[in-house]
Amino acid sequence: METRRIGSLDVSVVGLGCNNFGGRLDAEQTASVVDASLDAGINFLDTADIYGKTLSEEYLGRALRGRRDRVVLATKFGAKVDDERKGARPEYVVRACEDSLRRLDTDYIDLYQLHTPDGTVPIADTLGALDELVQAGKVREIGCSNFSPAQLREAEAAVRPGGARFVSVQNEYSLIHREPEQGVLDECARLGIAFIPYFPLASGLLTGKYRRGQPVPEGTRLTEERFAGARSDENLELVERLIAFAEARGHTLLELAFSWLLTRPTVVSVIAGATKPEQVRGNAAAAGWRLSSEELAELDGILPAPAASA
């Protein structure tokens, strides 16, 4: 599989999101999904301390025993684990890293990401703590998630001379959710920061299994109340138009969702979750469509304009 760079790291253009581990998947099911990922050429695995209430890291660590060196392992900190474990205070950064290292059963994290901005802590303080982890060899590269253009600029300005800087930002981005086009992608290009889209399939809407006028498949994410808005008539109509576009060219909606993102400036790896090995194999195979400039222009006429970001 093709690889691209996040700082010093070579990552597969399709990554595995590990948010289902420890929640929808037990340890054995997690291992089967990880096995399928490695077999499919995926080397970039992205988790977080809050996924599965910390079990995602634990199950992932077990699944990677004896082959840790085959993957680029990314995790996150800062979102609320409990009342004590949250935020980006320097002392907590160190504790969170040690906790993740233990759960992942490894002595280093390839990409350690601040999961969400913490407005109560100067970003310079957080960066200082992260730099100490890099200097200690516990972290190779650092990144952030859910940052705005202004927050990316603030973080870059706060880097100490010779200190570690954010080499990536992970924000929501898909054919349906295009907010990063309103500033974040441009800022990434200016600063040399890799962009990692999450929810690239719009919580499943872009898999092709949700169709206008048809019942929502049972047991899927979009049956959950918090995702009900994604099933709007407007979105389902857009899905039908995108399916028609893809099928007219001998491709699937899934292939379009992955391949379109990989044409975007600074996008390095499209990470998607999976609950079954066959989903992993489908995701890994979906990134091969080389969209022409004419096709991209036609898509711009189909897609809604991106919403403005802060």
Where do the domains of the chain lie, and which CATH numbers do they carry?
3-302 (3.20.20.100)
Give the active site residue among 51, 92, 112, 210: 51
Looking at residues 179-187, what average pLDDT do you find? 96
Contacts for 55 with CB less than 8 Å, ≥ 6 apart: 21, 22, 23
- 175 token code pair: 């054919």
Residue 136 CB-density burial (10 A; 0-12 exposed, 13-18 middle, 19+ buried)? exposed
51 catalytic residue (yes or no) = yes
Contacts for 263 with CB less than 8 Å, ≥ 6 apart: 291, 296
CA distance linking residue 142 with residue 105, whole number of Å: 19
Q: In which order are the strands placed within the sheet that holds 109-114?
A: 194-198, 166-172, 139-145, 109-114, 72-77, 44-46, 14-17, 270-273
**In this model, does residue 310 exceed pLDDT 50?**
no
Looking at residues 95-106, what average pLDDT do you find? 98
Query: Which one, of 292, 113, 89, 281, lies nearest residue 198 by Cα?
Result: 113
Higher-scoring residue by pLDDT: 225, 87? 87
pLDDT for 231? 66
Tell me the C-alpha to C-alpha distance, in Å, between residue 233 and each of 208, 224, 227, 254, 257: 15, 17, 14, 20, 19
**In this model, does residue 223 exceed pLDDT 90?**
no
- Report the mean per-residue pLDDT for the chain: 93
pLDDT band for position 234 (cuts 50, 70, 90):
confident
Report long-range pairs for 227-234 (Cβ below 8 Å, ≥24 apart).
227/203, 230/176, 230/202, 230/203, 230/205, 231/205
Neighbours of 259 (CB within 10 A): 20
Contacts for 202 with CB less than 8 Å, ≥ 6 apart: 174, 175, 176, 177, 230, 235, 257
User: What pTM does this model have?
Assistant: 0.93
Helical H segments across the chain, by residue range = 27-39, 55-63, 90-104, 123-135, 149-157, 184-191, 233-247, 253-261, 277-285, 293-302
pLDDT band for position 280 (cuts 50, 70, 90):
very high
